[in-house]
Structures are given as structure tokens and as C-alpha cells.
Amino acid sequence: MTKEKTTQSAFEIAKERYAAIGVDVDQALAAMKKISLSLHCWQADDVTGFENQDAALSGGIQVTGNYPGRARNIEELRADILKATSYIAGSHRLSLHEIYGDFQGKVVDRDEVEPAHFQSWMEWAKANGMKLDFNSTSFSHPKSGDLTLANPDKGIRDFWIEHTKRCRWISEEMGKFQHDPCMMNLWVHDGSKEVPANRLKYRRILEQSLDEIFATEYKNMKDCIEAKLFGIGLESYTVGSYDFYLGYGAKKGKIVTLDTGHFHLTESVADKVSSLLLFTPEIMLHVSRPIRWDSDHVVIMNDDLADLTREIIRCDALDRVHIGLDYFDATINRIGAYVIGCRATQKAFLQALLEPAALLEQYETEGKYFERLALQEEAKSLPWNAVFDMYCLQNDVPVGEDFIAGIQAYEREVTSKR
């Protein structure tokens, strides 16, 4: 029996099994088609960008590993991204940091960047059926230091304000071009290795900088503000903490970005979703996997991811939650890292869509908590994998582990020769 027939046969059995507990598998597959992931361009080149290939990564972040084959220019980066998406079912987006502009070998400082530097990206994305999202870049720059938008030095602060204003302008033009809002994420690493004399001082400056940045209203982009727990070398104090951005987002109607690596490891990011949905317009996700600290490991199917995707589906919030990935692993094949993380995220969403929600709600309403817990546990071992295999088959991407051979071949023929 061919793999296609085996997949079809297993799918039919799974469909019957799910129908027995009131789950419509076809409806779940239809919902999966609406889920677009925003792939992070920086996985392909270790957050190097195209400003200065020799510049060291700084600003409270780092990439570990030195696996051969890193993308060295815009052509290689684009080729690697397309290779990765060929193994990921569905239509997806691409998230760019400002340092990935098409600068044509010219020196363009961060306060000089314009939409023209991303025109070729817009055209490339359109030609390849993708939409673009965007990020301002505060790290790896001579003026980064420990403080950018929260810097008391007006000259440095104004430099980063201008940079961020221009990034919003670029995002607006991207949104216009693609006829779909561009999600513009703002994250700065600002903080201190030791506790400062006055925490409020820097947060007040950051608030004022943000107010100036957001003074211009746009229609084709959406502002997202991202918190962080700490940065390397800035462990004791983070100006843009979660509490800061939650308050700012709720007060000013901005989208709060939840990066799953930017919280204490015992915190449940899933538990934050329902609260944010009540008080902020939408949510931006950066799905990552922290190990002891924000180490940005490749996303895998673990309990944290499953809890997060279940919560989104239970809240019926797919139209209000934007799903981006954010990790950078240079210890393994970079294209493989893309595919593993994206497929893991898709699997988690599919499992959530296949949850017997109606029956669980009924048990809860009737006070049947034993039955509710029992069904939640049984649902974990239902044949969701057969449904995911069919999802891949329907989207003409490799079923199961078949993508491994293709990535190995690309490494032999392309990336190993760089």
C-alpha cells in the first residue's frame, strides 16, 4: 500500500473516532487553512542582517552554535525561506527585521531607512504568495548600548525614535502594497545589569518616546509592543517589562506581543490570553521555547505550546491572535529548524481544533468534573496525527518524516557549499 493510501485509510478511521465524540474533522481541517504563521527571517542567518556582516550581535541577545551554511546575503536568505515553506502546509507570512533591508551594498543608518529599501521584499513576497510583517531593530548598533528609547540622552533617544517612526512608515507601505495589514512589532532591549537608582525614571522616558512614535496614525499597519523578562548583561531591570506594556497597551489600545520565551519559566503564557482579549484589541504571539532562560530553542510539541494553542481555540480567537515564530538556533540545520518549529505549531493548533469542546462544556455545565478530566486525558491520545498527515497530503507537502530527506539533499547541494 502506498503512503498516500495508508494516509487516507488512517484518516478515515480517525474521522470516525472523532465523530463518535462529536468532533467534525473536516471542519477542523477547514479552520487550519485560515491559520497563517509569520516565519521569522532571522533563523536563516543567525540575526546577522545585511547592514554589516562583520558586526557582533549585541543588545541583550545571542545566538548559540555555528552550524555550516548560514545565509550570507539576501538571495541566499530568500532561497532558504522558500525551501523551508515547501515543507510547511498552508500559506504563511514572513516577518522581517529592519536590518534585512535591500540596501544594495550602501551604508544606510537606522534613522535613514525608507520603504524603498524594502520594495524588492514586497515584490518578492507577492510573487511567492506571502505577506510581510515587520520589526524595528534596536540591537547590534553603535548607539544601542543599554538604553535606546528609554535613554536620558536626547540625541540617542531621538535617533531611535526616528528609526522606529520610519519602521512604522515602512510597515504602512507594506500593508498598502499587500492589501493586508502589516504587523509592526516594537521591542527594545533597554535595561540594566543592576537595579537602577530609580526604575520609574526610565519607564517614564519610554512612555514619552512611545507616545511620540505613535502620534502618527496609519490604516495599513498594526502596532505591537513586546515585553521581555531580561536581556543578557541586563538581568536586574528591564524598562519595557510585561507590566509596563500591558498597561500601555490597555490604555492606548495597542496590541501586546506575547513572546513565550519572555516570561518566568513557571508562568503560563496560555493563562494570559483570555485576559488580554478582554482589554486589548488583538494579540501578537512570538512562539519560542525557553530552556532555563530566553534561549530561543526550536519550537517543539510540548505542554506549554499545547496549552497556548488550546486556549486560543477555546476563546474562539483565531481572528484576533496573530501567530509569529521567534527562535534562532545555529546548532542544527537552519532550514530544518524552521520546518520543525512550524510543523510543531501547526500540530498543536490542529490538536486544539480537534478537542471535543462541546462535550467538555456539557460536562462542566453539569458539574461532571471526573468526566471532563477523563475526556481531556483521552483526547491526548486520539488519532490526531492521522488528521495532520492528511492535512499535509492535501497541501502537497511531505507526510510524516519525509521532509528530512529533502532538507538533507538541500544541505548537500546548496548550504554546505557556502
Q: Note if 326 is an active site residue.
A: yes
Helix (H) / strand (E) containing 97:
strand 93-97
Query: Of 46, 223, 259, 355, which residue is the catalytic one?
Result: 259
Q: Note if 226 is an active site residue.
A: yes
Evaluated on CA atoms 390, 393, 398, 402, the torsion sign reads positive
Q: Note if 228 is an active site residue.
A: yes
Give the pairing of strands 191-192 and 237-238.
Answer: antiparallel
Mark residue 400 as left, alpha or beta (left: phi above 0; alpha: psi -120 to 50; beta: remaining).
Answer: left
Give the pairing of strands 255-259 and 283-287.
Answer: parallel
Query: Of 222, 228, 254, 297, which residue is the catalytic one?
Result: 228
Query: Of 146, 226, 355, 411, which residue is the catalytic one?
Result: 226
Query: Of 83, 92, 189, 262, which residue is the catalytic one?
Result: 262
Query: Of 45, 46, 172, 294, which residue is the catalytic one?
Result: 294
Mark residue 322 as left, alpha or beta (left: phi above 0; alpha: psi -120 to 50; beta: remaining).
Answer: beta
Q: Note if 264 is an active site residue.
A: no
Helix (H) / strand (E) containing 224:
strand 221-226
Do 254 and 240 touch, CB atoms closer than 8 A? no
> 3-state DSSP call for residue 369?
helix
Query: Of 304, 326, 355, 411, which residue is the catalytic one?
Result: 326
CA distance 350 to 28: 7
Do 300 and 345 touch, CB atoms closer than 8 A? no
Contacts of 410 (CB under 8 A, 6+ apart): 83, 335
Q: Note if 262 is an active site residue.
A: yes
CA distance 298 to 31: 25
CA 173 to chain CA centroid, Å, is 21
Query: Of 296, 304, 311, 411, which residue is the catalytic one?
Result: 296
Q: Note if 158 is an active site residue.
A: no
Mark residue 36 as left, alpha or beta (left: phi above 0; alpha: psi -120 to 50; beta: remaining).
Answer: beta
Q: Which amino acid is at 85?
A: T
Do 173 and 126 touch, CB atoms closer than 8 A? no
Q: Write out the three cell numbers for 144.
A: 544601542
Q: Note if 259 is an active site residue.
A: yes
Q: Note if 294 is an active site residue.
A: yes
Active site residues per annotation: 187, 226, 228, 259, 262, 286, 294, 296, 326
